[in-house]
Structure 1
Amino acid sequence: MTLTLQDKLAILSDAARYDASCASSGTERRDSRDGKGLGSTDGNGICHAYTPDGRCVSLLKILMTNFCVFDCAYCVNRVSSNVRRARFSPEEVVSLTIEFYRRNYIEGLFLSSGIIKSPDDTMRDMVRIVRTLREEHGFRGYIHLKTIPGASPELIEEAGLHADRISVNIELPTEVSLARFAPEKDAGAIRKHMGDIRLRREAAEDTTLKGTQPKKFVPAGQSTQMIVGADATNDSTILKQSARLYGSYGLKRVYYSAFSPIPDSTAKLPLVKPPLLREHRLYQADWLMRFYEFSAEEIAKDGNLDLAIDPKLAWALQNREAFPVKVQRATREMLLRVPGFGTKTVDRILQTRPHRTLRYDDLLRMGASLKKAQPFIELADWTPGALLDTADLRAKFAPEPEQLSLF
C-alpha cells in the first residue's frame, strides 16, 4: 500500500515525540535585512518549545524515517519492533517545511531520523535537506538537527554550518546501560562527536589573522537527551553525568525523558513508566546547577531526588545551619540558595540594598515567593524565630500545591 504524504506525516511526527531534546532557545534571528528568504525565529508534526524569554514557538518536529537498522531495546522504532514504517524523501521534508512556513504554522524545523543503510547514508540525506532549505530556498527559520551516531566528522561539520542547534543524544546515563540496551552504539564515539562539535564551535568564534569572522557553526549550541527510568541509575548519577557533559562539552541543555514502556519490549526493561514528577525534579535540579551555583553532589548526594518537594527546598531543609540568611548583607551565592528566591529576585535585591534597608514588603514587590522563603530569611522587620527549627517544617511544604512550578 502506497502511503500518502499525510500518512507519512502522521506516522513520522508521532514517532518523533519520543525525542525530548527539542527547543529553540539560545539562537539569534538570522539576518534577513536583504529582504530575501523565508521565515523568522521571532496539526500533525507541530510541537511547541519555549525560548528563555518565555516566547512559545512552533516547530515542525518529524523523523525523516522510522526505519532503523539498530535494535536499541528502549526505542519503539528499533529494527525488531512491529510498528508501521514510513520514510520521507529529502524533497518531501523540504516541501513540507516550506509549505508549513508559508502558512505561518511553524517557525522552524526539528529533524531526526532512524538509521537507514548506514549512519553516513542517513546523515547525508539530512544534510542535503538543511542545505537545500538554506541555500536554495533562503530559509531563515530555526533548524535543530539530531545527528546520527557514527556519522563522519565531515558530514557533521557541514550540518553545523546550516543548523542552529545540533543534538547528540547519549540516550542512557551510563556506559554500562548503553552497552546493555543499545549494543550498536559506542559511548566513546558519542563523546568524541560532542568534543568535535565543541572544538568546531570555538574555532568559529575566533577571528582569523586577516580579521575576518569564520562562518557560524551551530550558533545555538548542542544539546543531548537522557532517558530516565529505563535502567536502575539513580538521580545522583544522572546529575553528575549532566555536570560532566556541561563542563566538558559546553552543552546548552541536557534533556531528561521519562521512559515510556513500548510494545513487545525486552524483559530487561521496566513494565511501568517512572513518575513524571521525577523527570520534572531532574529539570529543577539541572536548573540549580546551571543558574544557582549548586553542584550535583549537593543536590542529590547518593540517591534519588525527593519527589514531594523541590530540590532547592530539600537542600535548605537538610542544611538548616546555613540559615536564616541576612538578606541585607548576604552574598549572592547564599541569596540564590534561599527557597522562593529566583535569579531575578536576587538581582533586584543586590541592586536595591546599597540604597536602602530592605523590608518584607520590598521582597514581595520584587517577586519573591515568601511563603517558601519565610523560615530561611532575616530582614529589618522579619525574623523567622522558632519557625526554622520547627520539626514539621517539611510537612508544611509537602505535597506542593503546584507540583510543576519552579522553586
Structure 2
Amino acid sequence: MDADRINEKLSILADAAKYDVSCASSGSKRKNENKGLGNASNGICHSYTEDGRCVSLLKILLTNHCIFDCAYCVSRKSNDIQRAAFTVQEVVDLTINFYRRNYIEGLFLSSGIFKDADFTMERLVRVAKKLRTEYNFHGYIHLKSIPGASDELMNEAGLYADRLSVNLEMPTEAGLKLLAPDKNQQDMIKPMGYLKNAIIQRTEEKKLFKKAPIFAPAGQSTQVIIGATPENDSQILQSANYFYKKFNLKRVYYSGYVPVLADKRLPALNTDVPMVRENRLYQADWLMRFYGFNVNEIVDNVYPHLDLDIDPKLAWAIRNMHEFPLDINKADLKMILRVPGIGMQSAQKIVSARKYGKLGWEQLKKIGVSLNRAKYFITCNSKMFERRDLTGNNIKQFILASSQSKYLKAVQTQLHLF
C-alpha cells in the first residue's frame, strides 16, 4: 500500500471519528485460543482497567463520505471537507500492523453512509470477518451498526464483533427530525430490537451447547448528542431509561455537541455544552443502572435539569431530607447506597463489617466512606458529629465550601512545588 496515502486517509478518518464517544469495551469475554492475535480486554479506547492499566484501540471511520446531510455532523454531504475512504483490506492491515507494534488492543470502526445502509454495513462486517477468520485476531472489535441494514448483516456482524452500537444521535424523535430530516428513528430502533433478541437467543443456546458461537458478547450500546437540540436533562434521561429497559443496552453515551458548523437550526458557534453537564448525566445514568434509583427520583417536571454544582445523588438527598438521618448500623443496603459519600464497595463493606460490631466514624473512614458528605445524612456508634438542625441548602453550602477549600489547598501545594 502507498504509505503516504494511507497516512493521509488515517489522519482524515481518525479525526472524523473523534466525535463518537461510545467505544468502551467492558463486558467482552472473547478468549484467545489456538495462538491467535490479541485478547479483548476491559477499558479499550484510552480507558483504564481496574489495575490501572491504560489500553487503547484504533478508532476510525471506514469513510467520511455520506449521503445524509445531518446539521450537526462534520461529515454531512453539504460540508466542504476533504473526503477519504479506506478499503476493507487497508483497515485490516492497519489493525494488524498497529496491534503487532503494541499500539492498540482492538478496533472501533464506524462509517459514513456510502450508497445505502446494506452497502456500508456489508463492508464493516467484512473487516471484522477478515480479522477473525483470516488473521485469527482475538482482540476487541466494536462495529457501529448502520440504521436500516438488513437482519442478515446484523446477524453476521454479531458473530464477529464484540460490541455493536446504533447511534440514536438525538435524545428525542422531534430533535432528530429537526436536525436530520432524512433519517428515521425507527430505522435506528429496528436493529436494536433485532440485536436484543439475537443476544438473548444466542446466550440461551450457549448454555445448552458449549460450542455454540458467541454473539456480540459485550452487548450493544448507543450515543446521544446533548445540547444541539433543546431537550432538558429529564427528557434525555427518560429516553435513556426507555432504551435501557426496552433493548437491554449496556451503555448510553452522552456526547456534548461540539459546534463546528454554522446552521440556523443549531446553537451559535460560540455556544459550548458545559463538560460538567455531560459528567452529571453520566453520574445520573450510573445511579439508574447500579444504585437502584428510578429516573423520576433524579429528574422530573419539578426538577427537569440536573444541578451542575453538586452530583445527582447529593441533590436527591438534599431534596429528601425526610429520609435522613440513616442509622448506618441498621439500614438496609438499598438505603445505604443512597447516602452521599458512600459508594458501592463501601456500602457492601459496611453491611459485612457491622455483623461483628457497631460501626463508628473511625471505622467508616477506614472502610472508605467520604465523611465530609456522609456525616450530614447518617448516624453511627459515635456522637462526634451531631448537627441535625441543618437544612438541605445549609448542607449544600457546607459541602461546596469544603470542596472549594480542598481545591485551593491543592493549588497552593502545587505552587509551592515550583
Range class of TM-score, shorter chain? over 0.9
Give % identity. Answer: 49
In the alignment, which residue of structure 2 is the partner of 1:4?
Answer: 5
CA deviations on 1:34-92 (whole Å, 9 max, x unpaired) are: 2x2111224xxx94134566543211000000010011111110101111111111110
Higher helix proportion: 2
C-alpha RMSD of the superposition: 1.9
Q: Deviations over 1:118-177 (max 9, x none)?
A: 111111111110000000000010001111111111111101100000011100110111
* Matched position secondary structure for 1:73: coil
Aligned to 1:71: 69
Mapped partners of 1:52, 1:146: distance in 2: 26
Q: What are the equivalent positions in structure 2 for 1:336-347 lying under 5 Å apart?
A: 336-347=337-348
Give the counterpart letter for 1:128 in structure 2. Answer: R
Matched, 1:307 2:288: no
Helix, strand or coil for the counterpart of 1:246? helix
Segments of 5+ residues of structure 1 without an aligned counterpart are: none
Q: Which amino acid aligns with 2:224?
A: M
| Corresponding residue SS for 2:196 | helix
Residue 365 (structure 2) pairs with residue 398 (structure 1): no
TM-score by length of 2: 0.91
Aligned to 2:415: none
The residue number in structure 1 matching 2:287 is 288
Partner of 2:412: none
Q: CA deviation at 1:186?
A: 1.4
Paired position in structure 1 for 2:129: 131
Q: TM-score, normalised by structure 1?
A: 0.93
The structure-2 alpha-carbon separation of the partners of 1:109 and 1:391, relative to structure 1 and needing over 3 Å to count, comes to closer
CA distance in 2, matches of 1:325, 1:104: 50
Give the 5 Å matches for 1:321-360. Answer: 321-360=322-361
Q: Match for 2:217 among 192, 216, 219?
A: 219
Query: Residues 273 and 289 of structure 1: is their aligned pair in 2 closer, same or farther, counting only changes over 3 Å?
Result: same
Aligned length in residues? 396
What residue identity is the alignment partner of 2:369? Answer: A
Partner Cα separation in structure 2 for residue 166 and residue 277 of structure 1: 28
Partner of 1:377: 378
| Stretch deviating more after TM superposition (301-310 or 52-61) | 52-61
Q: Which runs of 4+ in 1 moved over 2 A?
A: 49-56, 207-214, 382-392, 397-403
Deviations 1:314-366 (A, max 9, x none): 11111111101100000111101100000000000111111211111111111
Paired AA for residue 236 in structure 1 = S
Distance 1:286 1:394, change over 3 A: same
Amino acid at match of 1:398: L
Match of 1:195 in 2: 193
1:19 aligns with 2:34: no
Distance 1:363 1:157 in 2: 50
- Report the Cα offset of residue 211 of structure 1: 4.3
Match for residue 267 of structure 1?
264
Could you list the runs of 5+ residues in structure 2 that have no partner in the other structure?
A: 408-418
Verify the 8 A CA contact 2:39 2:140 in the aligned structure 1: yes
Q: Using the TM superposition, name which of 3-12 and 159-168 deviates more.
A: 3-12
1:158 maps to what in 2? 156
Worse-matched range after superposition: 369-378 or 23-32: 23-32
Give the match for residue 365 of structure 1. Answer: 366
d(CA) in 1 for partners of 2:201, 2:152: 15
Residues 137/209 of structure 1: CA separation in 2 closer, same or farther (3 Å cut): closer
Separation in 1 of the partners of 2:312 and 2:64? 37
Kindly report which structure 2 residues correspond to 1:72-151, keeping only aligned pairs within 5 A, or say none. Answer: 72-151=70-149
Amino acid at match of 2:388: A
C-alpha spacing 1:166/1:208, structure 2 compared with 1 (3 Å) = closer
- With 178-187 and 162-171 compared, the bigger mean Cα shift is at 178-187
Give the 3 Å change call, closer, same or farther, for CA 309–391 of structure 1 in structure 2.
closer
Moved more, 50-59 or 181-190: 50-59
Of 185-194 and 318-327, the range deviating more from structure 2: 185-194
CA contact (8 A) 2:168 2:224 kept: yes
**Cα distance, 1:274 vs. partner?**
1.4
